[in-house]
Amino acid sequence: MTNAGMRSQASLSIGEVLTQLRPDFPDTTISKLRFLESEGLVEPERTPTGYRKYSVEDVARLRYILTAQRDHYLPLKVIRENLDDIDKGAPTTRATVSLVPTPAQEDDHIPGAQDFVVTRVAATLTRTELLARAEVSEDELDHMEQFGLITPDSQGLFNEDSVIIATTVHALAQYGVEPRHLRAYKSAADREIGLFDQVLAPLARGRDPQASERVEQATAELSALSVRLHATLVRAGLRARS
């Protein structure tokens, strides 16, 4: 929302930002703020030890994003384009998209097929770097590894997926859900991967040049549908209890 050179001093921790936002956006969580950062929509500064520090402008940017999602159902792609226009000082013309959420736009924070395009993520983070990026303790990471939620490569390095897993597991722990409770998630994920491999095997055997591309596309779509089904089943179950 403002040029980097004109930013006010970044002094707010992620917890302090959450406290400011919660009165207007009660469903906001630390995981949500980290997700918006991972999407490149807000870029808080980092201390030498890796902790986030938000400026007043960062908080204003978050309010814009959360308002656009809550009141206008704007997908993240459109919000990002709007923010880019604002950063450049250009008039924003994209906010007039349909205010009625389509099935693809509803709950747009749920990953879509584009988020599951199969690309190899290099493992470049040391254990110390992972701890700083995810803002978790040694003991927490030990438990995540113990229960198979995070596994380093043969050189002891971690990739960006490990950061997301660690921050998510840490957030769940704030509610009393510990890594030992999450072994079922890992087992379910492994079973899904096995099921997808079986379903996609006929496509993979294709000899035409497009076979590999079709497998990648189908994998991404299956993954997104699986995540959406899981999220909706949980939501439906919770609603049935109320």
Cα–Cα dist 76/80, whole Å: 6
**What pLDDT score does 121 carry?**
64
Beta carbons of 89 and 95 less than 8 angstroms apart: no
Contacts of 166 (CB under 8 A, 6+ apart): 130, 134, 136, 140, 141, 144, 150
**CATH architecture, domain 4-101:** Orthogonal Bundle (1.10)
Beta carbons of 139 and 170 less than 8 angstroms apart: no
The per-residue pLDDT string of the chain (242 residues; one tens digit each, 9 = 90 and over) reads 444 444 557 688 898 898 889 888 888 888 889 999 998 999 999 988 888 999 988 999 999 999 888 877 778 888 888 888 887 776 554 443 332 333 333 444 566 665 666 566 677 889 999 999 888 999 999 999 999 999 999 999 998 889 889 998 998 888 899 999 999 999 999 999 899 888 888 877 767 667 777 788 788 888 888 888 888 888 888 888 86
Q: Where exactly are the structural domains of the chain?
A: 4-101, 127-241
**What pLDDT score does 120 carry?**
62
Do 4-101 and 127-241 fold alike per CATH?
yes
**What pLDDT score does 111 carry?**
60
Cα–Cα dist 118/204, whole Å: 14
In b/e form, how buried is each residue of 11-29, taking b as 16+ CB within 10 angstroms? ebebeebbebbeeebeebe
The residue assigned the tokens 């980290």 is 34
**What pLDDT score does 36 carry?**
92
Beta carbons of 171 and 29 less than 8 angstroms apart: yes
**What pLDDT score does 110 carry?**
60
**What pLDDT score does 95 carry?**
43
Cα–Cα dist 176/135, whole Å: 18
**CATH architecture, domain 127-241:** Orthogonal Bundle (1.10)
